Amino acid sequence: MPPLSKRIVVLILLFIVALLPMTGFACVGKTLVIGSTGGVQQDLLANMIAQLITERTGTSVKLVTHESSPSAHQALLKDDLDIYVEYTGVGQVQILGGEPLQDADQLYQAVKKRYNEEMNLIWLKPLGFEAQLKGLELPTQAVPVARKDTLKKFPALARLINKLGGKIDVETIAQLEAQVVDQGVKDVARTFLKMNRLI
């Protein structure tokens, strides 16, 4: 093979290799289902995750709303849902029936361990704020929860979603929720992701 032809082949191969991380992430024919349990906060967080995945990977994403955390949890277990944002206090008390732990990190570690061992569900990094939930006087953090088999099919997914970890404090989520009134959930989520250079 002439030297010029060899160079062309090498360049083509390098180009293909450069594209592999992106094409390897997207699962052909697979649509990731992102859940929300309704309300402005949940819809915002679901949209952030959905847009982050779509913009960074090209993977198709579908948003669905469930009436409650137990409903979304059951959908995760049945493989009708891939990811949704849950709250550590809800997971510990309402889903697992565990004791209400008052230490935020201890609470997170407790639900993370049991979900993983008992249900093959993975708690990713906390988003950075504690939610005020009626009837739960606990340090309840908002955290994306995903099916373990979904994370295996999409190896870069956990790392991608974890880029949101610690990015949303109490003040930020309050501001974002207020902006939804005038701008809409999708636009507010997109602006946040762009301002934080996530997309």
Read off the pLDDT of residues 52-74 as tens digits, 9 standing for 90 and up: 999 999 999 999 999 999 999 99
Read off the pLDDT of residues 19-62 as tens digits, 9 standing for 90 and up: 444 444 444 458 999 999 999 999 999 999 999 999 999 999 99
Read off the pLDDT of residues 100-137 as tens digits, 9 standing for 90 and up: 999 999 999 999 999 999 999 999 999 999 988 887 88
Give the contacts of 9 (CB within 8 A, at least 6 positions apart): 1
CA 151 – CA 154 distance, rounded (Å): 5
Query: What does the mean pLDDT of the chain come to?
Result: 89
Q: DSSP letters of 74-109?
A: HHHHTTS-SEEEEEHHIIIIIIS------SHHHHHH
Give all domains of the chain, ordered by start, each with its CATH number. 46-192 (3.40.190.10)
State yes or no: pLDDT of 96 exceeds 50. Answer: yes
The helix/strand/coil state of 63 is strand
**pTM given for the model:** 0.85
State yes or no: pLDDT of 139 exceeds 80. Answer: yes
